[in-house]
Amino acid sequence: MEHLKVMVDDVPARHAAHSSSTEGPTPSWRVWSNQPTQFTAHRICPIRHNLHQHPLLQLPQLAQLAKTLMPLGQCRFMTPGALQSSALGDVLHNASPDGRGIDEVFTQLDEPGSWIALYNVEAEPRYAALLAEIIDSAHPLLEHAHPGIFKISGYVFISAPPSVTPFHIDRENNFWLQLLGRKTINVWDHTDRDVVSARGVENFILFNSLDDVRLKDELRSRSQEFHAGPGDGVYFPSTSPHMTRSERDWVRPGDGVSASMGVVFYTRETQRSARVYQLNHYLRRAGLTPRPPGQSRLRDELKAPLGYMLAQARRRLHHVAYTPPGLE
């Protein structure tokens, strides 16, 4: 795949959010595509949004949200000096590496290398309502390709450059939205088995293991690279490899913090693919070379129930209390 560098056009005036003044109409918070006929839920697509103007997504409100989420274990911190090639599990922590509390983290957020992520923001009802509104706005893009949307969740990533989020994959489909400052995101085709092997995807889906999901420098050129500012975004499907970085070239006094948000969700199709990966894992262990999901809908329809039964049998046999999301 040719290496793409994308600068998304400015938001058209007709899409700008209305003033938050009580005198005007209530803003409509939404994501959209400037080229809706070219959007497909099965591949990487640039999108636009106006969420960077939402009152709940400003830094003071996010600091309050972090204070709510921290006791729930839903804040993550990055080891200083992490690289895009770092193993995500090795550099992500439940507490600030230098021992700072949430208030101090946000007070010093513009210090180079600062990094905090807020997980599952829907734990706060106002954010759950906002996520539902965002996904509802995206239905015109998704309704034909992705029926049965469920498990909507949100993640906010706040950092001061130079900072990175290492190479990894996620189970969910993702509307990735830049809220503040600037950030570069690289995303790879989720079907490219040279970038992440079928075994690597299967082990992640089943066991949450990223051991076989590592950045290969020689394959950087296969990514699509987006240089994002507030209002820019990217949609990418489940298990699309991705990573981000934020450099200091845009930083000005009083403007040195980057924030982005992932609005993620499962669909019946995502669930079916996860169950196919479950079955394929055991077929591979038996010495076979199974086809990955997405190549044959009929084959996937036949394999998915068997994958589900295997997942349930494994839970009973090994007394596993946790089923990875998407396999339920």
Domain ranges in the chain? 28-265, 271-318
Average pLDDT over residues 145-172: 92
Q: Binning pLDDT at 50, 70 and 90, where does residue 312 land?
A: confident
What gap in Å lies between CA 110 and CA 258, rounded to an integer? Answer: 9
Contact 182, 229 (CB under 8 A): yes
Closest listed residue to residue 235, CA positions, set 137, 324, 123? 137
What's this model's pTM, rounded to 2 decimal places? 0.89
Q: Is the pLDDT of residue 267 over 50?
A: yes
Q: Averaging pLDDT over each range in 22-26, 153-157, 266-270, which range is the top one? A: 153-157
CB atoms inside a 10 Å sphere around CB 308: 20
Q: Binning pLDDT at 50, 70 and 90, where does residue 15 land?
A: very low
Which amino acid is residue 152, in one-letter code? I
Q: Is the pLDDT of residue 253 over 80?
A: yes
Average pLDDT over residues 256-283: 94
Least confident span in 53-62, 129-138, 143-152: 143-152
Predicted pLDDT of residue 327: 55
Which residue carries 């190549």 as its tokens? 295
What gap in Å lies between CA 195 and CA 206, rounded to an integer? Answer: 19
**Crossing angle for the helix pair 297-318 and 268-285, nearest 10 degrees?**
70
What gap in Å lies between CA 226 and CA 210, rounded to an integer? Answer: 24
Please count the CA atoms within 13 angstroms of the CA of 256 that sit on its side-chain side.
Answer: 16
For residue 216, report the phi and psi dihedrals to the nearest 5 degrees. -110, 110
205 strand-pairing partners:
none
3-state secondary structure of 272: helix
Predicted pLDDT of residue 25: 63
DSSP state of 169: -
User: How does pLDDT run across 100-138, given as a tens digit for each residue?
Assistant: 999 999 999 999 999 999 999 999 999 999 999 999 999
Which amino acid is residue 191, in one-letter code? T
Predicted pLDDT of residue 323: 55
What proportion of the chain, given as a percentage, has pLDDT over 70? 88
3-state secondary structure of 225: strand
Predicted pLDDT of residue 255: 93
User: Strands 224-228 and 4-6: what pairing?
Assistant: parallel
Give me 260's structure tokens. 């982005």
Least confident span in 61-70, 299-308, 317-326: 317-326
User: How does pLDDT run across 177-188, given as a tens digit for each residue?
Assistant: 999 999 999 999
Q: Is 6 exposed, middle or buried (0-12, 13-18, 19+ CB in 10 A)?
A: middle
| CATH number listed for the domain at residues 28-265 | 2.60.120.650
Predicted pLDDT of residue 142: 87
Q: Is the pLDDT of residue 22 over 60?
A: no
